[in-house]
Amino acid sequence: MDRRHALGLIAAAAALAACGEKKPQFAAVDLTGADYAKDFSLPDTNGQTRSLKDFRGKAVVVFFGYTQCPDACPTTLAEIAQAKKLLGADGDKVQGVLITVDPERDTPELLKAYTANFSPDFIALRGTPEQTAAVAKDFKVYYKKVEGKTPGTYTMDHSASSFVFDPQGRLRLYTRYGSGAQTLADDLKQLLATSA
């Protein structure tokens, strides 16, 4: 193969590569275009109804959990808070949202204090049992009350993954429990860059 022919092939390959739009490679499951988990409409700890439109311009990480959760909830909220720190100034463009699956025990005051332990700007949402069931169904999230050894004590079994929405309010990612703060930060960085 002569030099001119080889250069022609290289140029053609470069032109083809430039034509294809580069799709981000996320560590999380890419849910772009999914037909569920489109929004929520639930009261925050001040009684104000919140939905995704309240957070336009920010990537939103939604997690379903409860304040008396022994492991998955504090681990996940700590990872979201750490990911925000790892992003530096871009961390201000990330909103953490906890939706309680235990509205019976999770009072607004308790939720506010709990989320503040992780990040002062995290928001907790608490619906009625019926609202909670409806939003969990829309997000395809599992949760169930598990009675304890004594009357009045119980835990909540629940899905332990997070949903990430882009700054335009579109569902984009499903992050598995325990993926780590750096992995989440890397995905959020890509998401913020491609949504600018």
Give binding residues for Cu cation as ranges: 69, 73, 158
Q: What length is written for the chain?
A: 196
Which residues make up each annotated binding site? 69, 73, 158
Token reading at 112: 């506010």
b/e map 24-36, b = 16+ CB within 10 Å: eebbbeebeeeee
CA distance 139 to 7: 52
Angle at 61 between CA 56 and CA 66, to 5 degrees: 125
Beta bridge partners of 49: 43
Contact present, 72 and 64 (Cβ < 8 Å): no
b/e map 98-110, b = 16+ CB within 10 Å: bbbbbbeebebeb
